Structure 1
Amino acid sequence: MHIDLEQSKATVHTIRKASTNNTFGSRQLKNHSMELQNSTLGSSFILVGILNDSGFPELLCATVTVLYMLALTSNGLLLLAITMEARLHVPLYLLLGQLSLMDLLFTSVVTPKVLADFLRRENTISFGGCALQMFLALTMGSAEDLLLAFMAYDRFVAICHPLKYMTLMSPRVCWLMVATSWILASLVALGHTMYTMHLPFCMSWEIRHLLCEIPPLLKLACGDTSRYELIIYVTGVTFLLLPISAIVASYTLILFTVLRMPSNEGRKKALVTCSSHLTVVGMFYGAATFMYVLPSSFHSPKQDNIISIFYTIVTPALNPLIYSLRNKEVMGALRRVLGKYRLLVHSTL
């Protein structure tokens, strides 16, 4: 009996000790998890962009610099002309002004960082900086995506239904299009950014891409991301293929109307304008579709780097030249605005 009592006490002591050890182990695991989370939030990513993978990085850097300066100058001049000239306060130029603003912000989110990193030989970006860059890039890209579809509708109404233009494209409708583009884009960008940046990253901290975007970051995430990749695919189809369908439908109807025009000169002018617009649209949507709709197995990180150059740097530089600065009305307004500025400077001096 005495032996049984001693054995019982020993068993109870062992159970209590095991329980204490388990509690201590749980606390250690919890503390380790918290430390891992804190280190993740305080860590930096390494951006390995196209300048790092290029065989001629200096030449490519100079090209990117020229394109960025061209984007800043052309978009800035267009915004100045549209803002200062009362004759351009119409729906067409309001939408063009918003496109220039988006292009200006979009390329400025990415390009200065790329050039500064190359010159300093430092490619790091903080966790918070990566999240901010992702949110801004997604917002500008998605907003421009929607705005290009609204601009195609504007051209459809102007060419196919000119008598109803001021009714169908009233200032209220125009501002509603602009607000829809910005609000929907920012909401979608916020949701994707928050979810992506809360994923655990354990594979590597090296992003083989020009900027912080969802597809290259998913390659660094731990665990199964297939469900989230499906969500990204559905979002990509919604934000890319639906506007593309609207643009193709609008320009197809425009083409039928233009071909029935009696004037050869008017027909030629309309065809040149539409073809140049579709060239830029094809570059922007083609690059974005390649990045967000095609499965990652169909493209390599180097291809992603090259494609990202088009919609972050090349397209913002070309949009004002193709859409506006060849327009005689815009150039006339720009000359008047710059002439007023020169007179103001001379009178001040």
Structure 2
Amino acid sequence: MSQAITQIQPGPLAALPALFTPDAKTAKRTVEFFTAQIRNPNTRRAYARAASRFAAWCAEHGLLDLQVVEPVHVAAYIETLQLQMTAPSVKLQLAALRVLFDWLVVGQVIPVNPASSVRGPKHSMKKGKTPVLAADEARALIDAIDTSTITGLRDRALIGLMVYTFARVGAVIKMQVEDVYVQGRRTWIRLHEKGGKQHEMPCHHNLDEYLHAYLNAAQPGAKAYLFCTAMGRSRALSSRPMSQSDVWRMIARRAEQAGIKTKIGCHTFRATGITEYLRNGGKLEIAQQMANHESARTTGLYDRRNDQVSLDEVERILI
């Protein structure tokens, strides 16, 4: 069972904790949860860490069998976590336990879900924490990229795609060359989003230029990944797609070269694009569609127009 988990996603549950291995049935059902039920690798990784953390806490408190775990134990665990983590992190830990225990209840491993009645910490967020660039900073970063190399053309196209389409980095790195296509005399892109959903958008004229400059130089096959890693000192591109960590390191390097002090990441360009779209008269409901968000409230977390209002008001303090 542990080998099945490792083959799909190495992580904390590659070796199942004792709490989930009192018998073959429980172990098999737990492995099925992480291999068959959870399809998103990031979710699988996060839920595996949550399950392992809870199992370690149970072991410390003498709870060695799932059958004896009760809501009071889960509640005590959540109270402990609130001293160590932020409220959103605690809510994620509790959500992971609820889903896992539900799966075990359906599989008749345990009679009831001990986490279902436990309430997590209250948390309300009206503005996200993702660092955002001003329009001139984003422009400076893109313009500072040396496009005389294939990696420079790749990086400009990748950053431009995230800015102008509000794309998640996870969707961008899964793109193949055939996901850039012409329709109605305009270049379009196709993003493969969470849950197997496809999201298509026309390209901004700047993005159109960046993508075609890159593709004309790289000349990849239609079935090749769109953004691939560089090979050694030659800087030629390999056939291996960039990972999220590859993109994060590239962004950090490009930001340093451009003299940008803000600690930005992959999500920065999604938030920057949404903010600038709304600042220039765009509608929130359209931004929601472009970002492929389920809720306009989620899109609103990326809206930082009020940051500029606050800054302007602070400058009125003439001392």
State the TM-score, normalized to the length of structure 2. 0.24
Structure with larger RCO (C-alpha < 8 A, sep 6+): 1
Task: Decide which structure has greater helix share.
Answer: 1
Higher strand share: 2
